Amino acid sequence: MWKVLNRYLKISLGLPDVPNSPKTLFRIANENRLLPSDVGQWLIYADSRIGTSDDYDGEKANVALDLMGTFIKDAVALYETMSGKPWL
């Protein structure tokens, strides 16, 4: 999601110096009123993803799974904002 957001900020909004870091991108997206929920929630999503990328702890996986429903709703809303189209 953050890689698509990176391209959107560069191409659609014309921001020239967009860093290649998920958390920073979410903060920039928040400043540009793109995020459907609080930036803090997006930072939680990023932490959850980072925390489970190389660690297969069951507890961390359960936390990530618990976030999934909210993340999907937020991701769909962000898609709709960026594309200007409704989700299927």
In a domain, 23, yes or no: yes
Give the model's pLDDT for residue 61.
85
In a domain, 73, yes or no: yes
49 part of a folded domain:
yes
Residue 63 to residue 35: CA distance in whole angstroms: 22
Instruction: Collect all residues with Cβ–Cβ distance below 8 Å to 27 and sequence separation of at least 6.
Output: 39
Quick check: is 72 in a domain? yes
Give the range of the structural domain holding residue 45, as residue numbers without chain letter: 2-83
Instruction: Give me the number of domains the chain comprises.
Output: 1
pLDDT of residue 53: 79
pLDDT tens-place values along the chain, 88 residues long: 889 999 999 999 999 889 989 999 999 999 999 999 999 999 999 999 888 877 777 888 888 999 999 999 999 999 999 999 999 8
Kindly state whether residue 88 falls inside one of the protein's structural domains: no
In this prediction, residue 85 carries a pLDDT of 95
